Amino acid sequence: MGIDKDNVRFVIHYSPAASLENYYQEIGRSGRDGKESFAFMLWNKQELLNFDQILKNQIPNKAEFLKIVSYLYSIFQVAEFELPEKTFQLNITGIQNFTKLSKAKINNVLNFLHNQEIIYYNDNKSLSSLELFIKSDEIDQLPQKDAYFIELLFRTISGLTTHKVMFSEQQVSNKINVSAPLIKERLKELQQKNYLEYVDGALSSIKFLKPRDERAVNSIYWKLFEHIQRNKIQKWEEMKFYTENNSYCKMKLILAYFGEKNSKNCGHCSVCEKNKQSIFGKNISQQIINLLAKKPSTIEELSIQLSYHSKENILENLIFLLDSGKVRMLNFRTYMLNN
Ligand SMILES: [Zn+2]
C-alpha cells in the first residue's frame, strides 16, 4: 500500500493483518494531516480459524524442511561445499511431485532461504533472458539445424550478438511463426549443448549464494527457520487477541504491545465507545453504587473508574445518593454503601 497522501480518512481492513506491527503501520496511513480519520477491521471467527490453519499448514517439520532443501541441491547437482555460478530454473511443481509436500510449505522454505541470503529465489514472472556463447562467425561450424535456429534468433532479437538480452518468446513466435512452447524447447536443447544460457521468465529461478553445507542446513538453518516460524505464530496470536478482545481499549493494547505500559483509554475506539454507551445508557448513580458495592472509595477513586464522566457530575450524583440514604460516609473522604 504505497500511499503518499496525508488526507486519507478511512483505512478499512477486510481481514485481520498478519501482525500488530503490520496493522499499526497500515492504519497509521490515515489522518496524517492530524484531522479525524477512521480505521475499520472486518473479521469473523471462521476467518481467524482459517488463518490458523493456513499458518499451520505452511510450516514443515524438520524432516520435511530437510527434504525440500536437499532436493534443491540434488536436482541441480550441487555437491557439498560447492557453489555453482549459474542461475537455475526452478519448477515448483517438480518439487511438489518429488516431496509430496504442499506448495505453501515449499514456498515458505524457499522464502526463508532467500531472506537468509542462502539462495536468491525469484518468483516474479518476467521476461525471459538469453545470452549467446557462440560468436556469429562460429555459427557455420554448428550442426545445420542449430545454426539455422540461431540465425533466426539473431534476426528477431536485437542486441543478441553483443550481450545478454531480455525478450518474450511470444513476440519471437509471432515473427518467425513457430509456437512459443517449441521455441522454449529448442532454446533448452541449445542450452544443453552449451551454446547459450536461457532463463524462462515464466518459471521461478534460483541462484545459490552460499556453498552447500549439510551441517549448517541440519543445525543452524533449521533452528533459525523454526525460530522464525514460532515468531510468526506468536505474532499472529497477538493479532488474534487484539481482534477478538472486547474489554481493553484497542489503542491501549497496541501501545502495550509496543512496550508502553501506562497509557490511558483512548476514548475513541470500539471498546471505549461501547463502554461510554453502557455508562451513559445506565444511570450514573447505578454505576457509583456498583463500584461502592465492591469497596468503599473516595471521589478521586470513583472518577478514575468512571473516567468518561466529569468529576462534577459524579459528585452531583453522589450527593443525591447521600441524600436518599443509599450511600453514607465511612470517613470524611471515603464513601460506602449504606446497607
Ligand atoms: Zn480506546
- pTM tops 0.95, yes or no: no
Expressed in angstroms and rounded, the spacing between residue 274 Cα and the centre of ligand 1 is: 9
- The CA radius of gyration of the chain, in Å to the nearest whole number, is 33
Which residue blocks in the chain are alpha helix, DSSP H?
Answer: 20-27, 45-57, 62-75, 92-99, 103-115, 144-156, 169-176, 180-192, 214-216, 222-244, 250-257, 270-281, 284-294, 299-305, 311-323
Half-sphere exposure of 184 (CA within 13 A, CB side): 14
Expressed in angstroms and rounded, the spacing between residue 245 Cα and the centre of ligand 1 is: 12
Closest alpha carbon to 106 in 58, 74, 52: 58
Q: Could you report how far apart the first and last alpha carbons of the chain are, in Å? A: 60
pLDDT band with cut points at 50, 70 and 90 for residue 1? low
Give residue 332's pLDDT.
Answer: 85
Residues surrounding ion ligand 1 at CB below 5 Å? 249, 251, 266, 269, 272
Expressed in angstroms and rounded, the spacing between residue 280 Cα and the centre of ligand 1 is: 16
Expressed in angstroms and rounded, the spacing between residue 313 Cα and the centre of ligand 1 is: 22
Expressed in angstroms and rounded, the spacing between residue 273 Cα and the centre of ligand 1 is: 7
Interval 75-90 mean pLDDT:
93
Expressed in angstroms and rounded, the spacing between residue 293 Cα and the centre of ligand 1 is: 26
Expressed in angstroms and rounded, the spacing between residue 45 Cα and the centre of ligand 1 is: 22
Q: Indicate if the pLDDT at residue 234 is higher than 60.
A: yes
Expressed in angstroms and rounded, the spacing between residue 16 Cα and the centre of ligand 1 is: 18
Interval 145-153 mean pLDDT:
91
CA separation, residue 37 to residues 8, 28, 51, 85, 216 (Å): 7, 10, 28, 52, 50
- In sequence order, the β-bridge partners of residue 132 are 196
Mention every residue, 6+ apart, whose C-beta is less than 8 A from residue 149. 186, 190
Expressed in angstroms and rounded, the spacing between residue 42 Cα and the centre of ligand 1 is: 18
Expressed in angstroms and rounded, the spacing between residue 51 Cα and the centre of ligand 1 is: 26
Q: Indicate if the pLDDT at residue 276 is higher than 80.
A: no
Expressed in angstroms and rounded, the spacing between residue 253 Cα and the centre of ligand 1 is: 9
Expressed in angstroms and rounded, the spacing between residue 90 Cα and the centre of ligand 1 is: 49
Residue that the C-alpha cell 445508557 belongs to: 281
Q: How many Å separate Cα 144 from the centre of its chain? A: 52
Expressed in angstroms and rounded, the spacing between residue 12 Cα and the centre of ligand 1 is: 18
Q: Indicate if the pLDDT at residue 264 is higher than 90.
A: no
Q: Indicate if the pLDDT at residue 315 is higher than 90.
A: no
Expressed in angstroms and rounded, the spacing between residue 252 Cα and the centre of ligand 1 is: 7
- In sequence order, the β-bridge partners of residue 183 are none
Expressed in angstroms and rounded, the spacing between residue 255 Cα and the centre of ligand 1 is: 11
CA separation, residue 297 to residues 220, 303, 306, 331 (Å): 58, 10, 12, 10
> For residue range 282-314, what is the model confidence (pLDDT) as tens digits?
678 888 899 999 999 998 898 888 877 778 778
Please, what sign has the CA dihedral across residues 284, 290, 293, 297?
Answer: negative
Please tell me the distance from the alpha carbon of residue 236 to that of residue 239, in angstroms, as a whole number: 5
Expressed in angstroms and rounded, the spacing between residue 275 Cα and the centre of ligand 1 is: 9
What's 44's DSSP letter? -
Expressed in angstroms and rounded, the spacing between residue 268 Cα and the centre of ligand 1 is: 5
Most confident of 31-40, 212-221, 258-267, 319-328: 212-221
3-class DSSP state for residue 205?
strand
Expressed in angstroms and rounded, the spacing between residue 266 Cα and the centre of ligand 1 is: 4
Expressed in angstroms and rounded, the spacing between residue 247 Cα and the centre of ligand 1 is: 10
DSSP 161-186: TTS-EEE-HHHHHHHHT--HHHHHHH
